[in-house]
Amino acid sequence: MTAAGVVEVIGVPGLPEVRPGDDVGELIAAHARLQDEDIVVVAQKIVSKAEGRIRSLKVVEPGESALRYAERLQADPRVIQVILDETVRVVRDERVLIVETRQGYVCANAGVDHSNVPGADSVTLLPEDSDASASALRRRLEELTGRRLGLIVADTFGRAWRMGITNVALGVAGLPALVDYRGRPDDFGQELTATLVAVADEVACAAELVMGKTDRLPVAVVRGYRPPAPPGSGRDLIRPPELDLFR
């Protein structure tokens, strides 16, 4: 960023409902006027739908563990079973299931969600590999538009200690996830500490301001942000269990 830099966050309206097999890149390219260096932030929900990461609850048989959690949490045992199928470790089971997913995220309900899914009996799952989803979608969009782009697949997660959910970057392609300011001198020449900044999460948060939760605006463009580091991946943002004091 130059000192006088301006970052713009632009909602992309008009996208139709996404269905399994849809070409999300084509849908976005048809509705957004992209420029070089734009970062396209795409809601996980439409990526999951296009990838067919939808499960019908009608065919789910809850096991014993799911039935037990469901009773305690007053939840649909079939939904709990789907959550457990995505889970490698239950981190907390009071009030809500906070789990570590197969992808390594720690989040509520393994990201399984039944909002904005057509039909009361279906839920969406997080993408199998959000970085792969982000890379593929970026490649497709670059091919269709001829622009050099960054791409983030984002979802809203809760936090320990703070109320409310915020957008986070699950998949990242073409931009850094983290910028490491450690070791750079600060304004007084001292070495900075604790300044590994999760810029992809911050870009995702900026995008959420125009995406909303009910406006059917699953795509936003962040323009004018030039992160001062080489590209990374969403995996960079996952704290390894051995560095995590809270699971």
- Minimum distance between the CB of residue 214 and its own copies, rounded to whole angstroms? 6
Task: Decide: 196 and 181 in contact? Cβ < 8 Å.
Answer: yes
Determine the Cα–Cα distance for residues 14 and 30; give it in Å rounded to an integer: 9
- Minimum distance between the CB of residue 126 and its own copies, rounded to whole angstroms? 14
Task: Decide: 75 and 68 in contact? Cβ < 8 Å.
Answer: no
In the range 57-116, which residues lie near its own copies by CB under 8 A?
A: 92, 94-95, 98, 105-109, 114-116
Task: Decide: 234 and 130 in contact? Cβ < 8 Å.
Answer: yes
Residue 80 or 210: the one with the smaller Cβ distance to its own copies is 210
Tell me: does residue 205 bind its own copies (CB under 8 A). yes
Quick check: helix, strand or coil at residue 150?
strand
Determine the Cα–Cα distance for residues 220 and 98; give it in Å rounded to an integer: 28
Total of residues contacting its own copies (CB under 8 A): 84
Residue 4 or 59: the one with the smaller Cβ distance to its own copies is 4
Tell me: does residue 156 bind its own copies (CB under 8 A). yes
Tell me: does residue 161 bind its own copies (CB under 8 A). yes
Cβ neighbourhood burial of 246 (10 Å; 0-12, 13-18, 19+):
exposed
* Member of 9, 18, 27, 34 binding its own copies (CB under 8 A): 9
In the range 112-141, which residues lie near its own copies by CB under 8 A?
A: 114-120
- Minimum distance between the CB of residue 28 and its own copies, rounded to whole angstroms? 15
Determine the Cα–Cα distance for residues 78 and 57; give it in Å rounded to an integer: 6
* Member of 29, 99, 177, 219 binding its own copies (CB under 8 A): 177
Residue 23 or 236: the one with the smaller Cβ distance to its own copies is 236
Determine the Cα–Cα distance for residues 164 and 159; give it in Å rounded to an integer: 7
In the range 220-239, which residues lie near its own copies by CB under 8 A?
A: 222, 225, 236-239
Cβ neighbourhood burial of 216 (10 Å; 0-12, 13-18, 19+):
middle
* Member of 215, 219, 230, 231 binding its own copies (CB under 8 A): 215
